[in-house]
């Protein structure tokens, strides 16, 4: 999620289309900067909001609880059975509904934040024939659950079966605690790099027209839009976890990587900038909203400056970086 500078104003600023934008530019984490800014880096790494707090700590806690209490033993998983695979699917479906459903209920059903700091002041589409059921939310729920959760679970079931049969390289956290912690800290970086590569690939015209167009129907995204993708895109998107077939890791690393991939799109697509707890809980991503709005910029996320390096970065300010990139109107 994008983090505004502490001194930035918080008042609404809307353009001629009624879209809210922050008064400060979208920026990257202080990692790949010269000269190095150690103080800024440490503040980003350990401060609030920052790299660890709150979201990565929350996702790591969910992964740990999932492994300890909601995952079959590897001995059980050594034999493929519908019983345990079905329970994994239901657990993932529950996580998806708790996360996306809660954000949607608070922001779109109860409308607790109104349209304050909502990127697009309009609510999500109804009576729109471009969506299944002619309803954007129902369409998004269908693709998130029927395709997204199914493929998410398929990757997990395959890994648990492989781990149970010693077909993937496993480590003991007790024997390699430093390695385990470092690997856990690096997983979000790997996920972001993988996402950028896959995202650029599916913007290739043949794949965009057949696959990625489905996600981009959500020009005005909401919490359920994050995982609303074509099945082919889900296969590519969740392939981020295939690294665990190569890199020695613990199932907690795999679960964290997979859940991070599945759940982080929910707050980043909620359509608002920090709308809850009087803006104390960071959420939303103006960086990614700009991609949904203009299509040909900000393919990655705001930690690794991949878009800046490859010339597709847009900072969101009129006349700012990338402001002259082609603009596509809402379908």
Can you tell me the distance from the alpha carbon of 269 to that of 114, in angstroms, rounded to the nearest whole number? 17
pLDDT given for residue 40 in this prediction: 96
pLDDT given for residue 108 in this prediction: 95
- Enumerate residues 6+ apart whose C-beta is below 8 A from 126: 134, 135, 136
pLDDT given for residue 5 in this prediction: 45
| DSSP string for residues in 81-112 | -HHHHHHHHHHHHHHHHHHHHHHHIIIIIS-T
Averaged over successive runs of 10 residues, the pLDDT of the chain (331 residues) comes to: 44 75 89 93 94 96 98 97 98 98 95 89 92 96 98 98 98 97 98 98 97 96 97 98 98 98 95 77 89 92 95 86 58 34
Can you tell me the distance from the alpha carbon of 238 to that of 61, in angstroms, rounded to the nearest whole number? 20
**Is 266 within 8 Å of 100 (Cβ atoms)?**
yes
Q: How far is CA 119 from CA 15, 137, 222, 286, 326, in A?
A: 10, 17, 10, 8, 19
Q: What is the pTM of this model?
A: 0.92
Torsion over CA of 216, 217, 220 and 226, rounded to 10 degrees? -60
Can you tell me the distance from the alpha carbon of 142 to that of 266, in angstroms, rounded to the nearest whole number? 15
pLDDT given for residue 7 in this prediction: 37
**Is 189 within 8 Å of 304 (Cβ atoms)?**
yes
pLDDT given for residue 4 in this prediction: 47
Q: What value does the CA radius of gyration of the chain take, rounded to a whole number of Å?
A: 20
pLDDT given for residue 115 in this prediction: 87
| DSSP string for residues in 137-180 | HHHHHHIIIIIIIHHHHHHHHHHHHHHHTT-S-B--TTT-HHHH
Can you tell me the distance from the alpha carbon of 126 to that of 87, in angstroms, rounded to the nearest whole number? 34
Can you tell me the distance from the alpha carbon of 161 to that of 98, in angstroms, rounded to the nearest whole number? 26
Q: How far apart are the first and last CA of the chain?
A: 26
Tokens of residue 18, six digits = 């009624």
pLDDT given for residue 2 in this prediction: 52
């Amino acid at each position: 999620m994008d983090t505004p500078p502490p001194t930035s104003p918080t008042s609404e600023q809307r353009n001629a289309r009624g879209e809210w934008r922050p008064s400060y530019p979208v920026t990257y984490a202080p990692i790949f900067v010269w000269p190095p800014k150690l103080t800024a880096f440490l503040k980003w790494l350990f401060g609030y909001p920052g790299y660890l707090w709150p979201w990565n700590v929350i996702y790591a806690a969910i992964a740990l609880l999932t492994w300890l209490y909601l995952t079959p033993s590897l001995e059980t998983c050594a034999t493929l059975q519908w019983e345990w695979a079905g329970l994994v699917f239901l657990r993932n479906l529950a996580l998806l509904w708790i996360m996306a459903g809660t954000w949607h209920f608070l922001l779109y059903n109860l409308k607790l934040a109104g349209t304050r700091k909502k990127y697009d002041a309009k609510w999500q589409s109804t009576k729109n024939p471009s969506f299944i059921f002619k309803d954007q939310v129902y369409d998004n729920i269908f693709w998130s659950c029927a395709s997204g959760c199914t493929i998410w679970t398929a990757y997990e079931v395959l890994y648990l079966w492989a781990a149970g049969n010693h077909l993937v390289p496993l480590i003991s956290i007790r024997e390699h605690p430093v390695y385990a912690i470092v690997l856990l800290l690096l997983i979000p970086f790997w996920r972001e790099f993988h996402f950028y590569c896959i995202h650029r690939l599916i913007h290739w015209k043949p794949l965009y027209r057949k696959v990625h167009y489905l996600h981009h129907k959500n020009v005005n995204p909401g919490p359920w839009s994050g995982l609303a993708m074509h099945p082919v895109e889900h296969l590519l998107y969740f392939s981020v976890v295939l690294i665990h077939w190569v890199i020695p890791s613990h199932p907690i690393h795999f679960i964290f990587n997979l859940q991070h991939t599945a759940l982080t799109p929910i707050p980043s697509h909620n359509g608002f900038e920090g709308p809850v707890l009087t803006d104390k809980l960071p959420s939303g991503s103006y960086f990614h909203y700009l991609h949904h709005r203009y299509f040909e910029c900000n393919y990655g996320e705001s930690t690794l400056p991949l878009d800046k390096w490859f010339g597709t970065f847009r900072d969101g300010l009129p006349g700012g970086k990338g402001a002259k990139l082609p603009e596509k109107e809402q379908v």
